[in-house]
Amino acid sequence: MLRILTLCHGNICRSPLAEVLIEAAISADPLLAGRVTISSAGTSDEHAGEGMHANSTAILSARGLRTSHQARLFTPALAATLDLVLAADQANLRNGRSIIRMAERQPEIRLLRDFDPTAVGHDLDDPWGHPPTAYERTATEITAAIPGLLAELRDRI
């Protein structure tokens, strides 16, 4: 079983949105379904225990996807259970690396947008505090990275 995690700051906007969108794509892929698990976490505990941001929930609900979520902190113990961490932006990449260095077993960490060959920039837009259109833009950026990610995951299976 390949275990991946999406990582952002608070685990209420970008990482749960990415988690569910990627989860749906993995479930629809006959080579990956049942062989890859995905979860999410944040580098900050300020939203720990909270649900997903309402705008992320609305996007997923409109697509008929799961909206249940409980924000959690990315810890060295959690990192040790993973194979790949997908960071939302450079700050999450740096913070994630710091946490991973303390783990018994260290997973690979990369930026999610690195899987999109057409991406302009490396950071996933942070929609927090912006209108719903910003969340849609973030969902579009995540969706654009999914084909490259799935190809990578197929190579790892």
Q: Which of 3, 94, 126, 156 is catalytic?
A: 126
The yes-or-no answer on residue 125 being catalytic is no
The yes-or-no answer on residue 8 being catalytic is yes
| Identity of the residue numbered 114 | D
The yes-or-no answer on residue 126 being catalytic is yes
List Cα–Cα distances, 112 to 54, 65, 102, 124, in angstroms: 22, 20, 22, 8
Instruction: Report the relative pairing of strands 108-111 and 84-87 from DSSP bridges.
Output: parallel
Q: Which of 13, 14, 113, 125 is catalytic?
A: 14
Total Cβ atoms within 10 A of residue 25: 20
76-95 b/e (C-beta count within 10 Å ≥ 16 → b): eebbeebbbbbbbbeebbeb
Residues known to be catalytic: 8, 14, 126
